[in-house]
Amino acid sequence: MRYSLRVQYIGKNYAGSQIQFENGKEIETPTIQGELEKAISTLISGDTANNNRHFKTIFSGRTDKGVNSLGQTIHFDTDKPIVASKFVYQLNEILPKDISVSDLKQVDEKFHAQKSAKSRHYRFVFINRKCKNAFDGDLMRIKFDINMERMQKALNYLIGEHDFSSFKSSGTLNPSTVCFIKSAECKKDGDKIIIDIIGNRFLYNMVRTIVGTLLEIEGHNLPAEHMQQVLEACDRTKAGQTVSPYGLTLIEVTYN
């Protein structure tokens, strides 16, 4: 039987969502996947031995260290039936305080958390204020004024199907660089700037590099058309810096 599960987490204390490997050997570093697999193994197999993992989880996509999630989706297989409400409650009781789960359900055997996904929604939030505030947390603070109309115009150039090579970091494993962006919007909420981007897939560090390019446009008072020039160049050196992962959240993954 195959089950899907929605996962929420704060990524600050983890080396990313996926278990890390080097030269074919697992690196002993905390990850969301590692904690989930240990917890699921404890509940289903009753195995409480440290680091024992008998159930492999498949994620909808990889998130880096510092990136949060409200709607990461995973799937796993087991031959033991699960009572959803009881299982979710017990799993949350043994998971670390910065990881939680919800919406457990049995799915078709053909369902695949990554391959069946139709869209992914990412949100990046930063502070736009000259002075710091003790409650800003880890959010990036930008001191210069942001022209929201220009930022939205720049984002509009990303909508549709494009080659996003300019926004791809060198760590991208998938050679395909074409993505379809369904929507890209920005809004202001007090001192916070919120950028929402929904697409069928994203390249490694793509959203963070898009934000870095937006800030380059704003910081140097460039025209919004600069985003189009960067996009069409298919050259990473033309885009802005890859900004901090803090403030980036995977909001939702959608399926048919």
**170 token code pair:** 């060198």
Catalytic residue of the set 47, 64, 98, 191? 64
Q: In the CATH hierarchy, which fold is given to the domain comprising 119-254? A: Alpha-Beta Plaits (3.30.70)
Intrachain domains 2-107 and 119-254 with the same fold: yes
Q: How far is CA 247 from CA 10, 102, 113, in A?
A: 10, 22, 24
pLDDT score of 24: 76
Q: Distance between CA atoms of 196 and 192, rounded to whole angstroms?
A: 13
Q: Is the pLDDT of residue 172 over 70?
A: no
- Residue 217 DSSP one-character state: H
Question: β-pairing, 68-77 with 2-9?
Answer: antiparallel
**225 token code pair:** 């058309």
Angle at the Cα of 64 from the Cα atoms of 62 and 65, rounded to 5 degrees: 140
Q: Is the pLDDT of residue 152 over 90?
A: yes
pLDDT score of 102: 97
2 forms bridges with which residues in the sheet? Answer: 77, 107
Instruction: Tell me the average pLDDT across 191-208.
Output: 96
Q: In the CATH hierarchy, which fold is given to the domain comprising 2-107? A: Alpha-Beta Plaits (3.30.70)
Model pLDDT for residues 189-198, shown as the tens digit of each residue? 999 999 999 9
Model pLDDT for residues 231-249, shown as the tens digit of each residue? 999 999 999 999 999 999 9
Out of 20-24, 56-60, 70-74, 176-180, which region has the weakest mean confidence (pLDDT)? Answer: 20-24
- Confidence band, pLDDT 50/70/90 cuts, at residue 170: confident
**Nearest alpha-carbon partner for 136 in 187, 99, 190, 185:** 190
Which of helix, strand or coil describes residue 196? strand
Can you give the pTM of this predicted structure? 0.93
Which of helix, strand or coil describes residue 71? strand
Q: Is the pLDDT of residue 168 over 80?
A: yes
Q: Distance between CA atoms of 246 and 16, rounded to whole angstroms?
A: 12
Out of 71-80, 167-176, 230-239, which region has the weakest mean confidence (pLDDT)? Answer: 167-176
22 forms bridges with which residues in the sheet? Answer: 25
**Nearest alpha-carbon partner for 67 in 113, 27, 120:** 120
pLDDT score of 54: 73
CA dihedral 17, 22, 28, 29 (to 10 degrees): -40
Which one has a higher pLDDT value, 172 or 170?
170
Model pLDDT for residues 23-55, shown as the tens digit of each residue? 777 788 999 999 999 999 999 877 555 555 578
What residues does each domain of the chain span?
Answer: 2-107, 119-254
**Nearest alpha-carbon partner for 193 in 217, 215, 221:** 215
Q: Distance between CA atoms of 36 and 72, rounded to whole angstroms?
A: 12
Is 79 designated active site? Answer: no
